Amino acid sequence: MYNSSVADAPLIREPLHAPVAHLIRGGVVEGIHYGSVVVLDADGQVDFQLGDIEAAFYPRSALKPVQAVAMVRAGLPLDGELLSLAAASHSGEERHLAGARRILEIAGLTEDHLRNVPDLPFDQVVRDDWIRDGRMPSRLAQNCSGKHAAMLYVSRLNGWSLDDYLDPGHPLQQAIAEIVEDLTGQRIAQVTVDGCGAPLFSVSLHGLARAVARVTTGAPGTPEARVADAMREHAEMASGSGRDVATQMRAVPGLLAKDGFEGVQVAALPDGRAVAVKIADGANRARVPVAAAALARAGVDPLALAEFAGEPLLGGGEPVGCVRPVRALDPVTLSACA
| CB neighbours of residue 8 within 10 Å | 8
| Residue (of 121, 114, 116, 113) closest to 137 by Cα position | 121
- Distance in angstroms (rounded) separating the CA atoms of residues 96 and 204: 30
Q: Which residues in the chain come in under a pLDDT of 50?
A: 1-4
- Helix orientation angle between 145-158 and 94-106, rounded to the nearest 10 degrees: 10
Which amino acid appears at position 14 of this protein? E
Would residue 230 be called left, alpha or beta, if left means φ above 0 and alpha means ψ between -120 and 50 degrees? alpha
SS3 47: strand
The string of pLDDT tens digits covering residues 53-92 is: 999 999 999 999 999 999 999 999 999 999 999 999 999 9
Nearest to 72 by CA among 162, 188, 151: 151
What's residue 334's pLDDT?
52
When the pLDDT of each residue in the chain is averaged and rounded to a whole number, the result is 95
How far apart (Å, rounded) are the C-alpha atoms in residues 260 and 266? 9
Does the CA dihedral 131-133-137-141 come out positive or negative? negative
All residues at 6 or more sequence positions from 336 whose CB lies less than 8 Å from its CB, including other chains: 322
Backbone angles phi, psi at 147, to 5 degrees: -65, -45
Round to whole Å and give the CA distance between 279 and 23: 14
Contacts of 50 (CB under 8 A, 6+ apart): 18, 20, 36, 37, 38, 326, 328, 329
**Amino acid identity of 89?**
S
Q: For position 5, what pLDDT does the model report?
A: 79
* Whole-number pLDDT of residue 2: 35
| The pLDDT value given to residue 187 | 98
Task: Quickly count helices (H) and strands (E) in the chain.
Answer: 11, 11
pLDDT of residue 15: 97
